[in-house]
Amino acid sequence: MQLLPVQTRILTPPQDDLLGVLEKVLVEVKENDVVLISSKVVAIHEGACVSGSTADKASLIQKAASCIIPRTYWPTPLTVAHHTFLGGAGIDESNGDGYFILLPEHPFASAKAIRQFLCTTFGLQNLGVVITDSHSQPFRYGATGVAIGWWGIEPVIDHRGQADLFGRSMKIERSNVVDGLAAGATVEMGEVNECTPIVIARDVPRLTYTDAHTNTRDQLFIPYADDTFRVLYEPWLSQFDDRN
């Protein structure tokens, strides 16, 4: 498998033309590639930016988060947005030029629209698009990538029913491909001034491409009642808003 970083010009808040940039920089995209794109440049493309001089970040977080878990020892709360733990609902000021950059409101729709544009522009059929963000994890320094939306690929490889090396049948094992790709791509993208918000993943093993109109959220996102990690957030479960 290859991860091919793609540099671009600076996309400037509060709004800029990501599709025009993609048309210029993705001339070597191929059939069966996966294009991973930072949520930040997608948000700028969609105008999901709010001036820091007129907005209150706490209010923006309150509106954007599905769940807010207070943490008095930190400037912003731990939140759930787009089915993942994110600090401050993913609202970011870095590389914002004085703006708060929100996450794309509907990342699956964003991924679908970008995929359709790329398939039409470059004459492709089997193509995946993944919208990535970065987040921190318990017990670890540093950020890793996570997928908040995708289109055109199956996000999970299901191993249930297959036999292991010694013939034991797999009961619950599944591989989370889409987050694995997002994590690898985020290493290539960087976090500061690399200006590399796009990565092409090529020759991804065992990947399944799917019809562009098939929404695959339920293959990856676990209902809260079935989540074995819900003990971490059960005290706040009643406030969950599943709109994301």
> Residue 167: its pLDDT value, please?
66
Rounded to 10 degrees, what is the CA torsion of 36, 38, 42, 48?
Answer: 150
Nearest-angstrom CA–CA distance, 161 and 66: 35
90: left (phi over 0), alpha (psi -120 to 50) or beta: left
> Residue 212: its pLDDT value, please?
62
Nearest-angstrom CA–CA distance, 3 and 108: 22
H/E stretch holding 119 reads helix 107-122
In order along its 244 residues, the chain shows pLDDT tens digits of 999 999 999 999 999 999 999 999 999 999 999 999 999 999 999 999 999 988 899 999 999 998 899 999 998 899 999 999 998 999 988 888 899 999 999 999 999 999 999 999 999 999 999 999 999 988 999 999 999 999 999 999 776 667 666 667 666 677 899 999 999 999 999 888 899 999 999 999 999 999 866 678 888 998 888 899 988 888 887 666 554 4
The answer to whether residues 11 and 18 touch, using CB atoms and an 8 Å cutoff, is: yes
How far, in whole angstroms, is CA 138 from its chain's centroid?
19
- Domains of the chain and any CATH numbers: 2-48+104-216 (3.30.1330.100)
Q: What share of the chain is helix, strand, coil (3-state, %, to 5)?
A: 30, 25, 45
Instruction: Output DSSP code: residue 223.
Output: P
